[in-house]
């Protein structure tokens, strides 16, 4: 078994595609539009399956926002330099909600950013 993708519901598909491609550096891998079922999908990632898991963005026609709820935590992405990534995110218009620094009680450097729909993304500093 292996992880294939994670799905997030978004309120504006193009806005979210722009965020994940322009701010996070992902590639738009493929899209699907299902007008009869009233939804559209976009799959993004740094590489396509089977090399890496993908992110599926789902836009349900007419829904512009969702409640985050209390169960959702975050998506985690490994980066070489969390501080430099935060600077790049801010320069691209993204929202950094926790600057790079050691995790509480440890030494791993992390940071948090937020996408346009309010989903949290943890940046975890790792060697390349």
Catalytic site residue from 54, 56, 122, 125: 122
For the question of residue 122 being annotated catalytic, the response is yes
What does the alpha-carbon distance between residue 69 and residue 22 come to, in Å, rounded to a whole number? 27
What does the alpha-carbon distance between residue 128 and residue 126 come to, in Å, rounded to a whole number? 6
Strand partners, 32: 41
Residues 85, 111: contact at Cβ < 8 Å? yes
* Active centre residues (catalytic): 122
């Amino acid at each position: 078994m292996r992880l294939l993708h994670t799905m997030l519901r978004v309120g504006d598909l193009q806005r979210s595609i722009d965020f994940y491609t322009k701010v996070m550096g992902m590639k738009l891998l493929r899209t699907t539009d299902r007008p009869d079922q009233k939804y559209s999908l976009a799959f993004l990632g740094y590489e396509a399956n089977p090399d890496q898991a993908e992110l599926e963005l789902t836009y349900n026609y007419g829904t512009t926002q969702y409640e985050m709820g209390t169960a959702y935590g975050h998506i985690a992405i490994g980066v070489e330099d969390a501080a430099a990534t935060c600077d790049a995110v801010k320069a691209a218009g993204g929202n950094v909600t926790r600057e790079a620094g050691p995790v509480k009680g440890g030494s791993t450097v992390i940071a948090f950013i937020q996408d346009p729909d309010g989903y949290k993304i943890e940046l975890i500093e790792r060697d390349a």
